């Protein structure tokens, strides 16, 4: 149990996927202009990441590894995730239309979201077992949601702030992110 908590805290705060590992920055900048949008995107990513993690783990250990096909990892994972996103889209559209309306528009963006692919590679690299992988994927995607929410909140204030003209638009966002990341460095000693 303690190892699961350790994995969770490490992936959620200490190695926050956006602020400490620079993964999924495109959507971090592109989707945080509005708080509602950033939460929607964050939840959609959480949903798909956990599913992708649960699907790719068995594929790697039960199909690729016994047959010596580990080198096909990249090709197989990206195809599986793309197919999975399509399936989720069809299923939601048919069975849970309310959820589809809240999340559907983010799904096409998710196929090319690095966070999901990174989680599936990491769980293999770190030799996690199935349960650890699931906990890891939940923690990483909640970390993603947290970082999105933080920047979205700050951006609302930035709209009305006097920003020097040469830092307008995106440079100021990265400067803000840098300061948020400094705060996250404080979590580094949380686990020995």
Tokens of 155: 């951006």
Q: Nearest approach, Cβ of 2 to other proteins (angstroms)?
A: 26
Out of 112, 146, 149, 154, point to the residue binding other proteins (CB under 8 A): 112
Site for other proteins in 159-188 (CB under 8 A): 166-167, 169-175, 177-179, 181-182, 185
Burial 28-53 (b: 16+ CB within 10 A, else e): beebbeeeebbebbbbbbbbbbbbbb
- The torsion defined by the Cα of 176, 181, 182 and 183, in degrees rounded to 10, comes to 100
Determine, following the binding rule CB under 8 A, whether residue 90 of this chain makes contact with other proteins: no
95 sits near other proteins (criterion: CB under 8 A): no
Contact pick of 5, 79, 96, 131 for other proteins (by CB under 8 A): 79
Q: What is the DSSP string of 87-146?
A: HHHHHHHHH-HHHHHHHGGGHHHHTT-HHHHHHHHHHHHTT--HHHHHHHHHHHHHHHHH
By rule CB under 8 A, what count of residues binds other proteins? 49
Indicate whether 191 belongs to the interface with other proteins (CB under 8 A).
Answer: no
Binding mask 40-69 vs other proteins (x if CB under 8 A, - otherwise)?
------------------------------
CA 151-157-158 angle, 5° bins: 80
> Is residue 45 within 8 Å of residue 104, measured between CB atoms?
no
13 binds other proteins (CB under 8 A): no
Residues that bind other proteins in the complex, under the rule CB under 8 A: 19-27, 29-31, 37, 71-75, 78-79, 82, 101, 105-106, 109, 111-114, 117-118, 121-122, 125, 166-167, 169-175, 177-179, 181-182, 185
């Amino acid at each position: 149990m303690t190892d699961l908590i350790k994995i969770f805290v490490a992936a959620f705060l200490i190695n926050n996927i956006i602020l400490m590992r620079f993964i999924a920055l495109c959507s971090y900048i592109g989707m945080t202009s509005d708080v509602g949008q950033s939460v929607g995107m964050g939840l959609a990513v959480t949903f798909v990441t956990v599913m992708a993690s649960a699907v790719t783990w068995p594929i790697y250990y039960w199909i690729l590894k016994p047959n010596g096909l580990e080198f096909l990892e990249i090709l197989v994972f990206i195809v599986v995730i793309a197919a999975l996103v399509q399936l989720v889209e069809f299923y939601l559209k048919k069975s849970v239309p309310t959820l589809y309306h809240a999340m559907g528009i983010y799904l096409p963006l998710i196929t090319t979201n690095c966070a999901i692919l990174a989680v599936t590679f990491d769980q293999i690299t770190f030799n996690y077992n199935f349960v650890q992988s699931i906990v890891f994927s939940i923690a990483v995607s909640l970390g993603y949601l947290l970082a999105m929410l933080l920047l979205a909140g700050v951006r609302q204030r930035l709209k009305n702030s006097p920003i020097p003209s040469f830092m307008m638009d995106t440079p100021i966002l990265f400067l803000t992110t840098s300061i948020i990341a400094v705060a996250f460095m404080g979590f580094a000693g949380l686990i020995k």
